[in-house]
Amino acid sequence: MPTSLVLERQGELSLREIELRGDLGPSDVRIAIRTVGVCGSDVHYYTHGKIGPFVVNEPMVLGHEASGVVTEVGGQVSHLKVGDRVCMEPGIPDSASRAAKLGIYNVDPAVTFWATPPVHGCLTPEVVHPAAYTYRLPDNVSFAEGAMVEPFAIGMQAALRARIQPGDIALVTGAGPIGMMTALAALAGGCAKVYVSDLAQPKLDIIGAYPGIETINIRNTPAAEAIAQATDGWGADVVFECSGAAPAILGLPQLARPGGTIVLVGMPVDPVPFDIVGLQAKELRVETVFRYANVYDRAISLIASGKVDLKPLISLTVPFADSIAAFDRAAEGRETDVKIQIEMPAE
């Protein structure tokens, strides 16, 4: 049995052997894992033992942002071969479901998603995964970048939901990893400029180093004041709410222009109030994002083209043997950290 990073229960991780599914179906591929990103949801399961209705009731392997190498292919797989470098969508829908047929498989109630109780994740030497949700990486895209496709796909989903028009001015509230990914996706999607607001100056410094992005430290200037000044009082064409913070959500109508768009990306821990009249008074369009669907190919193409560079967002890479230390560091929430990644030993 392989050694995996196992969340035994809230607050307890171990590196140990655990029995995992290993049967290769005709439409599956077997993948040797190379790089896995540490996601906020992984850390939340570690520190809190649950996210909403998903509760860790038994040991679970963590990890869902991954890249690797194909080591075996099922008999019906034609677009992948042994030796291909790949990344994987961690959510597997029911292909016969109504949601999947509509192309919105991300909201399929029957989806199974890596490292979402009771489904095991990918911080283990190898996985078996449907070939349909496995994507070959171009030669110029590294394993580290491949493991960043998953969080970047959320930003891509947000940009698509926004229906960006060329030259739009956008504001992203929250400079966490997803906020940064959303800002970069919005730029790639046609925004002329993207403002990013947050309390943490180190995070703003990281994302503010990208051309086309300007930052707002809300400790010094309220976001509404800063965006009004930047747009002559008109407001942002698109506002992406990525913080999940109640005050930011309540203040959204003050940030958008009349007839503008708000995209809810961040997920609050508890229900928050919403200024309905503020939205109505400007006839604001509100969109929501839950994971992603049909964007992995686009995300990989943008990274391969050089139009989106995610490498500056990788703060630390540690070997698999130090996985527990990596999670402990991620749980600290250092303002200088964006994405921590774990490297599996190459065969």
185 is a domain residue: yes
- The answer to whether residues 11 and 90 belong to one domain is yes
At 159 the pLDDT is 98
Tokens of 307: 């139009």
300 is a domain residue: no
Q: What is the CATH number of the domain that holds 264?
A: 3.40.50.720
Mean pLDDT of 272-295: 96
- The answer to whether residues 64 and 189 belong to one domain is no
- Tally of domains within the chain: 2
- How far apart are alpha carbons 158 and 288 in whole angstroms? 8
- The answer to whether residues 24 and 95 belong to one domain is yes
H or E stretch covering 195: strand 193-198
Mean pLDDT of 272-297: 96
Query: Are the C-beta atoms of 49 and 10 separated by less than 8 Å?
Result: yes
Tokens of 310: 């995610």
- The answer to whether residues 223 and 253 belong to one domain is yes
Q: Give the pLDDT confidence of 251-271 residue by residue, as tens digits.
A: 999 999 999 999 999 998 788
303 is a domain residue: no
Q: Which of 258, 288, 318 is the last residue of a domain?
A: 288
- The answer to whether residues 275 and 325 belong to one domain is no
At 279 the pLDDT is 97
At 51 the pLDDT is 87
- Only one residue has tokens 């130090």, namely 322
Least Cα distance to 347 among 34, 80, 19 occurs for 34
- The answer to whether residues 282 and 319 belong to one domain is no
- The answer to whether residues 221 and 316 belong to one domain is no
41 is a domain residue: yes
At 269 the pLDDT is 79
Q: Give the pLDDT confidence of 160-211 residue by residue, as tens digits.
A: 999 999 999 999 999 999 999 999 999 999 999 999 999 999 999 999 999 9
Confidence check: pLDDT of 347 > 70 = no
Query: Are the C-beta atoms of 338 and 180 separated by less than 8 Å?
Result: yes
- The answer to whether residues 46 and 115 belong to one domain is yes
- How confident is residue 345, by pLDDT bands cut at 50, 70 and 90? confident
Taken in order 26, 345, 144, 196, the sign of the CA dihedral is positive
- How far apart are alpha carbons 199 and 204 in whole angstroms? 8
- The answer to whether residues 279 and 329 belong to one domain is no
> The whole model's pTM is what?
0.95
**Burial letters for 170-196: b for 16+ Cβ neighbours within 10 Å, e otherwise?**
bbbbbbbbbbbbbbbbbbbbebebbbb
Structural domain containing residue 266: 154-288
- The answer to whether residues 171 and 144 belong to one domain is no
27 is a domain residue: yes
Q: Which amino acid is at 103?
A: G
Q: What is the CATH number of the domain that holds 323?
A: 3.90.180.10
Q: Across-strand partners of 262? A: 239, 286
Mean pLDDT of 73-93: 97
- The answer to whether residues 49 and 33 belong to one domain is yes
Q: Give the pLDDT confidence of 12-41 residue by residue, as tens digits.
A: 999 999 999 889 999 999 999 999 999 999
Mean pLDDT of 101-128: 95
202 is a domain residue: yes
Least Cα distance to 92 among 124, 123, 70, 115 occurs for 115
304 is a domain residue: no
- The answer to whether residues 219 and 269 belong to one domain is yes
At 178 the pLDDT is 96
